[in-house]
Structure 1
């Protein structure tokens, strides 16, 4: 009996215009395929990939880190991996249903590299942002222009460690596509 290959959503941290000069999305897909990732597909915006990998999440993360270093990307550019099932749980939890529907660009989902980030500091958060914890993720209703929440964003980075964030629309698209890819 054949076993199915696990699929992962691979979210890059610290990717942007400076890194594009070192690695295009086409180069990333090609190098990922050469490193053992199966049918790598980038989508939605920069730094999002869905690919199969014959190995654990930790093994896939290590292999992807190797791919990124081949391009000379700095140590702060790290892959954060999630399974389709994990993304599906986040969508189903939907603790900010109204904000996700009415202001999806003003909602953020934070994905952490650490197995269990420290969220104890949230007890002293006094807004205006509304924050929910879903498993080891933070879902933030910024309720305003995200640029006005720099203090909170810096606090998340300092207190929780390496992370990358996506807005609710991106989460939804990544979840839908990764679930579909896992069924192919």
Structure 2
């Protein structure tokens, strides 16, 4: 049985969903040992399914039907989350400002050629597989990277800061 983390996009930052409702929904979908982390839709659970894409598709379809919630779902196993944490290209940022080091989760590998190269700000970005690490050294709100990312028309993603990533690694262990 695999321990998974589900990271739905924009929960309680545009799409409202109570965490009790999310837990009940996941149990209805056959997930076991369900827990939520924070109020942003992070959930951890166990299930026998071994295909993350299949879980993402199933949760997206069921959420549209059951919760009237149309959003993207990003699912990672404990091993994947631990590997993401281990691949951190910005250890200085995770130590000094973990709330400003973001990991963006995508469904497919990030194409580095599509990433903004010159956006005029202090942010650093680095793609590793299906994740994009972003060090918002000057803060997220003042970032000049955000408009450049929108212009790059990257596929849908969801972001979690370094502290939350580490909590997800621990919660899925």
Question: Considering the TM-score relative to the shorter chain, is it more than 0.5?
Answer: yes
Task: Please tell me the TM-score bracket, short chain as reference.
Answer: 0.7 to 0.9
TM-score (norm 1): 0.83
In the alignment, which residue of structure 1 is the partner of 2:135? 141
Mapping of residues 5-154 of structure 1, within 5 Å: 5-16=1-12, 18-20=14-16, 23-55=17-49, 56-69=51-64, 70-74=66-70, 77-113=71-107, 115-122=108-115, 124-126=117-119, 127-149=121-143, 151-154=144-147
Q: How many residues matched?
A: 169
Task: Please state how far the C-alpha of 1:15 moved relative to its aligned partner.
Answer: 1.3
Runs of 5+ consecutive residues of structure 1 not aligned to the other structure: none
Deviation digits for residues 62-104 of structure 1, max 9, x if unmatched? Answer: 2211332111113xx1110111111111111221111111101
Query: SS in structure 1 opposite 2:137?
Result: coil
TM-score (norm 2): 0.88
